[in-house]
């Protein structure tokens, strides 16, 4: 699996179609962000998802990376101006939560 | 008024000359030394990840005593580093505390699985490096 689209295409369950689309959109939005932390978080999360879909990482390992990134992201979000906090949280913490709860469990189960 | 103003000023200048280099040395000593500490914490954590990366996809022979000793040593490094940060630099203190927490999570993962996949190790090292780079650039 070389890209996120390929990884997500493996999930055929129609009940998570919306979650897949939302996740892909959030990753793309994050990668296009001008802020280095948001951009890097999105790039890393994409890579972790691909690694899980290739069977190169376990759910445990994915969860470890996500929980670590969440700690870092909480600090980052808190350091942002109030107006920018909601977007920063959406593109870092919420995106990681979406992957951990809706996407990766299905990739691991394949 | 001072009885000998010229003498007073001269003494003041001499005192100033004596104190200034000390103040300057404090300013230049504190920052590099805290950067060195952060670098040491980063290196210790990265070396731990390297040490417990599965070789050829399989865990090496498990040595509980060696693992416990290594974790205790690195944990102590984090504890000492956090204690050395003055209260006037709360962001640095929080950073070290968070980094110590991240290390404990990685140690727990190794304790459970006895080794880390090469992909996880690469991703974790990248995450740690970016995290430390961000802080080191700010100092």
pLDDT at A12 over 50: yes
Q: Are A45 and B108 a contacting pair, CB within 8 Å? A: no
Given pLDDT bands bounded at 50, 70 and 90, which one contains residue B123?
very high
Helix or strand holding residue B128 (H, E): helix B118-138
Q: Which residues pair with B53 in a beta bridge?
A: B116
The overall average pLDDT reported for chain A is 93
Q: Which residue has the higher pLDDT, B4 or B133?
A: B133
Question: How high is the mean pLDDT of chain B?
Answer: 82
The pLDDT of residue B15: 53
Please give the Cα distance from B64 to B111 (Å, whole number): 9
Looking at per-residue pLDDT, the higher value among A49 and B60 belongs to A49
Tokens 């793309």 — which residue? A28
Candidates B105, B123, B131; nearest CB to A48: B123
Q: Kindly state the average pLDDT of the residues B26-44.
A: 75
Nearest to B109 among A40, A48, A60 (CB): A60
Chain A residue at shortest CA distance from B96? A72
User: A44 and B102 in contact by Cβ < 8 A?
Assistant: no
Q: pTM of this prediction?
A: 0.82
Question: Is the pLDDT reported for residue B85 higher than 50?
Answer: yes
Banded model confidence at residue B39, pLDDT cuts 50, 70, 90? very high
pLDDT at residue B117 is higher than 70: yes
Confidence of residue A104 (pLDDT cuts 50, 70, 90): very high
3-state SS class at B116: strand
Q: Is B129 an 8 Å CB contact of chain A?
A: no
Domain spans, chain B: 31-138
Question: What is the Cα–Cα distance from A76 to A92, expressed in whole angstroms?
Answer: 9
What is the reported pLDDT for B56? 75
Q: Is A57 on the interface with B (CB under 8 A)?
A: yes
For CA atoms B82, B85, B87, B89, the dihedral sign is negative
Q: Could you give the CA distance from residue B95 to residue A72 in angstroms, rounded to a whole number? A: 9
Average pLDDT over residues A10-25: 94
CB A58 within 8 A of CB A78: no
Please indicate if any CB of chain B lies within 8 Å of the CB of A55. Answer: no
| Residue-wise pLDDT tens digits, A63-98 | 999 999 999 999 889 989 999 999 999 999 999 999
């Amino acid at each position: 699996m070389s890209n996120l689209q390929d990884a997500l295409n493996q999930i055929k369950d129609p009940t998570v179609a919306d979650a897949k689309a939302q996740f892909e959109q959030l990753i793309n939005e994050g990668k296009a962000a001008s802020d280095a932390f948001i951009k890097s978080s999105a790039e890393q999360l994409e890579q972790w998802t691909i690694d899980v879909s290739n069977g190169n990482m376990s759910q445990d390992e994915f969860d470890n990376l996500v929980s670590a990134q969440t700690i870092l992201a909480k600090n980052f979000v808190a350091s942002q101006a109030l107006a920018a906090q909601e977007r920063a949280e959406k593109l870092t913490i919420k995106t990681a939560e979406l992957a951990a709860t809706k996407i990766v469990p299905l990739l691991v189960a394949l | 008024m001072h009885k000998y103003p010229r003498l007073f000023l001269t003494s003041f200048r001499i005192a100033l000359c004596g104190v200034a280099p000390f103040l300057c040395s404090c300013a230049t000593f504190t920052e590099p030394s805290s950067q060195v500490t952060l670098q040491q914490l980063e290196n210790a954590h990265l070396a731990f990840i390297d040490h417990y990366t599965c070789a050829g996809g399989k865990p090496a022979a498990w040595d509980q005593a060696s693992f416990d000793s290594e974790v205790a040593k690195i944990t102590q490094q984090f504890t000492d580093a956090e204690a050395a940060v003055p209260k006037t630099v709360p962001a640095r203190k929080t950073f070290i505390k968070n980094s110590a927490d991240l290390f404990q999570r990685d140690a727990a993962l190794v304790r459970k699985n006895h080794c880390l996949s090469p992909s996880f190790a690469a991703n974790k090292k990248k995450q740690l490096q970016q995290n430390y780079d961000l802080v080191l650039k700010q100092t």
